[in-house]
Structure 1
Amino acid sequence: MLPRRALGRQLRKMRLREGITQAGAARVAEVSPQSYGRLEDGLKTKVTDLAMNALCNAFSSTDEERRIILDLASDIRQSQGSDGGWWQSYAEAVPKTFNHFIGLEESATHISSWEVALLPGLLQTREYRRALIWAEYPDMPTEKVELSLDIVMRRQEVLMKNDFHFEAMIAEPVLHAPIGGPAVSADQLSHLLAASRLPSVTMRIVKRDAGDLLGLITGSFVVFDLPPLPSSRMRQSSVAYAEGYFGRVYIERESEVAMYTRAVERLRRVACSPEESRELVLEARKEWEQ
């Protein structure tokens, strides 16, 4: 999925530079306008070197741009049959709008997460997540609930990767939210403490009196830092998933992603240290154990 999106962005940039319409580009590639539109949107469609070379000729591409386009096309073909990854086998339980989130989660080398209401999915226990699902979907069949929980647990395997780091910044009130009752909440905080000691995880709490209101204004969000693409070694810009400034959307425009990377930097400045954060979690757990 990520090479497709990178290819689409690169083709669009070159096409607009030459003042060519999508319909004109479709004629060059000998595909329908709908198929070419899917290509620029990063959606699944056939990618051939013949069509890519024709488009590069029409767009007056440099030798470097042509190499990037052909390498991206090669990356896409190598991934054919595995687009979407392991979660394809859970298609009935994974909303289409969440496919991209899991793909980013699996591909990222670093994820910065800011949460103002709930603990991040990568750090949730099965029972904590179960309580959230029942609250939102009280009529969901038990089998589908269990399938959804299996997906969350499978997602968490990313924390075991050597080349991955998860930075979780959490608003202090989240520790005191009554999710699933005292026993579930206490167990969840014990799990949070254990997860915070993993080499791949940094957990930091932002206290109520931190003094910087930006985190409340943005709402919860996630920033994904991505590795270079395999064949082209093309740098991939970070992607943000936000539930604040722009609603629940994926943000790829660099100037907009920069708003969230700056928010991450400001949150880091006011967040407690990992050690202080664990003390706050311990205190909150005592409340649930009483």
Structure 2
Amino acid sequence: MANPTVPKRQLGRALRELREAAVKSREDVAKALECSASKISRIENGHVGVRSTEFAALLDLYDVPLDQRKDLSALARETRKRRPRTTYGRSIPDWFRRFVSLEESASEIRTYNGELVPGLLQTEDYTRAVTEANPLHAPTDIERLVRARAARQARLVGDNPPRLWVVMSEGPLRLQVGGRDVMASQLEHIVEMAKLDHVTVQVAPFAAGAHASTGLNFTLLQFPDDIGVDVVYLEDLTSASYLDKRDDPQRQSYVLVWQHLTASALSPRDTIRLVNTVRRELRQN
């Protein structure tokens, strides 16, 4: 079943444009629907769906013509579809589920990590070692979490894959997660994934010193819905933040940092040379 995230964003954008054309504020609409202005904001930003009764009221409030209502109604029905359950769903924390849904809908994923190989490039053994090292994960959830990450990665080798652009510090190449054998396989996997046309891998080497994203991990998601707004995802130990407002200066700051980061990191070709150098060092020691 299709992921309803993109239809929610498309419908939210359309409803925002209709509201603005009707010269109404979110407060005006909230009063008419007897709800909060923040709920209208969440609907327009695609964070939540809109109930059928609320949707009908909005179309009436905005004086939407009948010929336009048909397409909007079809889009609204798409947003209410439920995704099938998975065997690993309960092991994923609630605050991370929104990211999984957004990532699944993204047409482009750009991510930086200074300590670990980013999740979409991890081997199962590497993921297992990282997951086992976190005391917050119950032993019974380890394999479910490993399968969940593998399911996210499957889209990269399926039909219509997203564009993936990964930048990492040199640190993840040298941190021996799971031991030498696991790391050797992980480095080989990075090389193989980097051969895909839609995957770009860059490394910010130790020798280059500080760079634009030193001490800061983040992910930028872009979507095929013409909204033109990246979602910035920021994660900590037990929660996450999402920056997705069009004029949010914080979101724009991450876009600027990404531009500087990619310009200062090694080229994709030089990155693979460094990865292969670290692989040889693992075998020699």
- The residue type equivalent to 2:273 in the other structure is E
| Residue-by-residue CA offset, 1:94-141 (whole Å, 9 max, x unaligned) | 222112211121111111111111111110011111111111037623
Partner of 2:7: 3
Q: Using a 3 Å threshold, how does the CA distance of structure 1 residues 72 and 108 change in structure 2: closer, same or farther?
A: farther
Q: Using a 3 Å threshold, how does the CA distance of structure 1 residues 163 and 122 change in structure 2: closer, same or farther?
A: closer
Shift in Å, 1:8: 4.5
Q: Using a 3 Å threshold, how does the CA distance of structure 1 residues 224 and 72 change in structure 2: closer, same or farther?
A: farther
Give me the whole-angstrom Cα distance separating, in 1, the residues matched to 2:39 and 2:104.
27
Partner of 1:123: 121
Give me the whole-angstrom Cα distance separating, in 1, the residues matched to 2:228 and 2:71.
14
Shift in Å, 1:250: 0.9
Correspondence list, 1:142-157, <5 A: 142=140, 144-157=141-154
- The residue type equivalent to 1:24 in the other structure is K
**What's the TM-score, normalizing by structure 1?**
0.79
Equivalent residue for 1:253, pick from 245, 256, 259: 245
Partner of 2:92: 94
Partner of 1:56: 62
Shift in Å, 1:33: 5.5
Partner of 1:158: 155
Residues 22 and 36, structure 1, Cα contact 8 Å, conserved in 2: no
Q: Using a 3 Å threshold, how does the CA distance of structure 1 residues 145 and 34 change in structure 2: closer, same or farther?
A: farther
Give me the whole-angstrom Cα distance separating, in 2, the residues matched to 1:51 and 1:222.
37
Equivalent residue for 2:264, pick from 255, 270, 286: 270
Kindly, what percent of the aligned residue pairs are identical? 28
Root-mean-square deviation (Å): 3.1
| Residue-by-residue CA offset, 1:157-185 (whole Å, 9 max, x unaligned) | 12123352100111111111121111111
Partner of 1:43: 48
Give me the whole-angstrom Cα distance separating, in 1, the residues matched to 2:96 and 2:240.
11
| Residue-by-residue CA offset, 1:234-257 (whole Å, 9 max, x unaligned) | 53521111249xx83111023332
- The residue type equivalent to 1:263 in the other structure is V
Q: Secondary structure of 1:260's match?
A: helix
Give me the whole-angstrom Cα distance separating, in 1, the residues matched to 2:32 and 2:106.
32
Runs of 5+ unmatched residues, structure 1: 229-233
Give me the whole-angstrom Cα distance separating, in 1, the residues matched to 2:124 and 2:72.
38
Shift in Å, 1:191: 1.0
Partner of 2:180: 182
Count of equivalent residues:
268
**What's the TM-score, normalizing by structure 2?**
0.80
Partner of 1:241: 233
